Chain A
Amino acid sequence: MAYTEEHAPRTRGPGKIELALEVNGAVHELFVEPRRTLLDALRVNLGLTGTKQVCGQGNCGACTVHIDGEPVYSCLQLAVECEGRAITTIEGLRQGGMLHPLQQAFVEHDALQCGFCTSGQIMAAVALLERIPKPTEADVIGGLSGNLCRCGAYRGIVRAVLAAAEKLQS
Chain B
Amino acid sequence: MLVPKLFKTKVEIEGRILEQYALVEGDELPPWDADEELGIVGYPTARVDGAERVSGDARYTADVRLPGMVYTAFVTCPHPHANILRLDVGAARGLPGVLGILTRQEVAAQVKDGSASELGGVVALRYGDELRYAGEIVAVVAANDPDVAEDAATLIAVEYEVLPHVTALEAAVKPDAPLIHPSGNIFNGAPLVTERGDCVAGFAAADVVVEQTYRTAGQSHSCLEPHGSIAYWEGDTLTLYESTQHVFGVRNIIADWLDLPQSQVRAICQYIGGGFGSKAEPDVTTLYAALLARQIRRPVQVVYTRRIEQIAGGHRSAAVMTIKLGAKRDGTLTAVEIHGLTDLGAYGAWLPDLDLPALLLYRCPNARAETTGVYTNTGTFAAFRAPGFVEGTFAIESAMDELAAALGMDPLALRRKNIPDHHQLSSKAFSNYPIEVCYAQGAQRIGWKDRAKKATVPSSAVLGSSPQRFRRGIGMANQIWGGGGGPPAYATVELNSDGTVTLRTGTQDIGTGTKTILTQVCAEELGLPLAAVRTLLGDTGAAPYAPISGGSMTVASMAPAVRAAARNARQQLLDVAAQLFDTTADTLEIHGGVIYQAAAPLASVRELMQKLGDAMISGTGSRGPNPDDARIVTSGAQFAEVEVDTLTGRVRVLRVVAAHDCGRIMNPLTFRSQIEGGIIQGIGYALTERRVIDHRLGQPLNANLGDYQLPTIADVPEIDVLRIDIPDLVANPTGAKGAGEPPIIPTAAAIANAVADAIGVRIRELPITPEKVLTALRSGTGTGRQEQ
Contacts and interface: CB of A to CB of B under 8 A. Distances in A.
Nearest to B743: A152
Contacts of B713: 140-141, 144-145, 147, 149, 154, 157-158
Given A54-B705, A155-B719, A116 B225 contact: yes
Contacts, number: 162
B62 interface: yes
Contact of A114 (B56, B145, B272, B705): B272
Of residues B55, B145, B680, B710, which shows the largest number of chain A Cβ atoms within 10 Å of its Cβ?
A: B55
B676 A107 contact: no
B58 A110 contact: no
Main secondary structure of the interface of B (DSSP, over half): loop
A59 B59 contact: no
A140 B714 CA distance: 10
Contacts of B146: 40, 44
B677 A152 contact: yes
A99 B54 contact: yes
A112 B710 contact: no
Contacts of B50: 106-107, 112
Contacts of A90: 55-56
Given A54-B224, A152-B711, A103 B65 contact: no
A110 B273 contact: no
Nearest to B675: A152
A136 interface: no
Nearest to A60: B705
A115 B65 CA distance: 19
A33 B749 CA distance: 51
Contacts of A94: 55
Interface in A32-81: 33, 35-36, 40, 43-44, 47-57, 59-60, 62
Nearest to A104: B54
Interface stretch (B462-470, B609-617, B666-674): B666-674
B512 A113 contact: yes
B714 A49 contact: no
A54 B225 contact: yes
B54 A122 contact: yes
Size bracket of the B interface: 35 or more
Contacts of A117: 224
Contacts of A152: 676-681, 711, 716
A48 B63 CA distance: 9
A158 to B, nearest CB: 7
Contact of B273 (A55, A114, A147): A114
Contacts of A150: 221-224, 274, 276, 681, 710
Nearest to B673: A110
B20 interface: no
Nearest to B305: A56
Contacts of B677: 113, 151-153
B273 A89 contact: no
B55 A110 contact: no
Nearest to A44: B146
A155 B717 CA distance: 9
Contact of A107 (B54, B65, B224, B276): B54
Contacts of A158: 713
Contacts of A60: 224, 705
B271 interface: yes
Contacts of A43: 63
A108 interface: yes
A48 B678 CA distance: 32
28 contacts: A33-B147, A47-B65, A54-B225, A54-B705, A55-B705, A60-B705, A89-B56, A91-B56, A103-B54, A103-B55, A107-B54, A113-B674, A115-B54, A115-B273, A116-B224, A116-B274, A119-B56, A122-B54, A145-B714, A149-B224, A150-B223, A151-B511, A152-B676, A152-B711, A153-B676, A154-B676, A154-B716, A158-B713
5 smallest CB-CB distances across A and B, nearest first, come from A50-B56, A116-B273, A114-B511, A152-B680, A107-B50
